[in-house]
Structure 1
């Protein structure tokens, strides 16, 4: 029988950063190597709820929610800049509050540009990378992105409203079940939880602002790639190869700049942790242990 005292406890906390309450999950010994978990759209640190206890016996795991997501504040988009640069600053501010100056990063979806912008600010702080369906190469922006790219080219109310389907319930569910062989492994609470948060008053405009701002990440791809080449962080790539949003076309190019990276293409979709945790967690744990948490 498992000793209950050996099961890591996750704490649910809030810190004030730039007058915004930033919610984060934290677990593990305070003095242990830090693993920073950066979530994607349309979820929050909730996506890491099952992974956190599997790492927290040896690692200090920190998983924040960006403003407008999860348990963090969602200021009006007319008074708060919902940009990836701002998110990187917010996460940086949170880490400063927590006294963290070195960390392995797990980046997924939106977490990739947030994390890579953070890496450009403090390249010496990134000890290792775990990449899961997080893009840094133009090859990874396929047909799904065409209406979003149209909005980047032509910032009009019509182009903006054309993206409203991306916050609709059917799209939220699609992101969890598309490309998954056995959907009985996917907890329906995922899309119900996410949709309630997406449907909060004002949140649609927050998300539309972020879709527009995502275009500012693409010109930074060469800088992200230079970071990979120059710093050569130990890197594990665990990618749902059936993902429509970030297909495997975006996974392979990492090896150009990180030839020693470990690449695993998994038979699943966008939110790979939901049905492949049993495969991914041992890979992630082994990778961190071999690299001493990257520390």
Structure 2
């Protein structure tokens, strides 16, 4: 079913002060959040040692609340979720994690040619086990959502629910097809050794956001992830996310905008999971949780409330 979203509930009062502080900080907060300290709106966090590196995480909300794990996009970082987290954290235990090689999650040595989605999912699951989180709802944008779908399909005993916020439900491609595409590398986006270059609003407006503040932050987070961006993208390209979603059984919420690149996946999601709740938020682009955080949080709270 597809729902149109209306906002305006008292559930948001508890998180309003923290949301206001995070919003006023802007991209500068995002950069600071990847340091050693704990920045608003987060109230806890740390680093978990895994083989080959560390996973950085941040927490918010009551320890007794049902866990909701937030995963960022490819080339993103924890702070992508900073406007949504306080609104969810008023009632749930929120755990946001930087993906391998992204943000403050640092890995030793150079990245592999392909960072597989299955490998990243296993690393995140192991880190959650170290935190004593055995069962949780996972919410992810872009790569974070693909990882969430992979978790839900392969480890159903761990995933109580899956929330996808602007996620590509790509059918996947072969390694040969991927290699052929890479021969047409865009020199305006990538260096010759596949390091991401800053992107202009003109470059991203057809795919990403029309908000220059969000794009400025994304350029900063992509620069932080550096050579891990393209290997992570390759992992997504080689993954049949649509088929994995069809294999999931946990309750599912799919959140998309009403325009832009990702709208093509609304029909794919409906076919893969006819029982899923699908919401389209008006006036957003590819990053609904950053562009429309209040509406995104409300959709998540409604979904989580139905499962209580």
Compute the TM-score of the two structures, normalised by the length of structure 1: 0.77
Matched, 1:255 2:270: yes
CA deviations 1:18-75 (Å, max 9, x no partner) are 2411101111222221101111122111110111111112211111111211011033
Q: Distance in 2 between matches of 1:260 and 1:240?
A: 19
8 Å CA contact retained: 2:68, 2:95: yes
The 5-angstrom pairing of residues 112-127 of structure 1 reads: 112-127=145-160
Aligned to 1:239: 256
Aligned to 1:73: 106
Q: Distance in 2 between matches of 1:154 and 1:257?
A: 24
CA 1:81 to 1:196, structure 2 compared with 1: closer, same or farther past 3 Å?
A: closer
CA deviations 1:127-186 (Å, max 9, x no partner) are 122111113353xx8xxxxxxx697526379628547715221168854896656x37x4
- CA displacement at 1:92 relative to structure 2: 0.9
Unaligned runs of 5+ in 1: 142-148
8 Å CA contact retained: 2:65, 2:92: yes
CA 1:158 to 1:134, structure 2 compared with 1: closer, same or farther past 3 Å?
A: closer
Q: Which shows bigger deviation, 36-45 or 10-19?
A: 10-19
8 Å CA contact retained: 1:67, 1:75: no
8 Å CA contact retained: 1:36, 1:62: yes
Aligned to 1:146: none
Matched, 1:224 2:241: no
Q: Which shows bigger deviation, 187-196 or 269-278?
A: 187-196
8 Å CA contact retained: 2:14, 2:87: no
8 Å CA contact retained: 2:175, 2:238: no
Q: Distance in 1 between matches of 2:14 and 2:289?
A: 26
Compute the TM-score of the two structures, normalised by the length of structure 2: 0.74
Secondary structure of residue in 2 paired with 1:74: coil
Aligned to 2:137: 104
Matched, 1:208 2:230: yes
8 Å CA contact retained: 1:165, 1:171: no
Unaligned runs of 5+ in 2: 1-12, 19-40, 191-195
Secondary structure of residue in 2 paired with 1:123: coil
Count of aligned residue pairs for this structure pair: 267
- Tell me which of 265, 287, 291 is aligned to 2:303: 287
Q: Distance in 2 between matches of 1:153 and 1:127?
A: 35
Q: Distance in 1 between matches of 2:242 and 2:14?
A: 46
CA 1:3 to 1:268, structure 2 compared with 1: closer, same or farther past 3 Å?
A: closer
User: Where in structure 1 do 4 or more consecutive aligned residues deviate above 6 Å?
Assistant: none
Matched, 1:278 2:283: no
Q: Distance in 2 between matches of 1:192 and 1:215?
A: 21
8 Å CA contact retained: 2:52, 2:108: no
- CA displacement at 1:195 relative to structure 2: 4.3
More helix by share: 1
- CA displacement at 1:211 relative to structure 2: 2.8
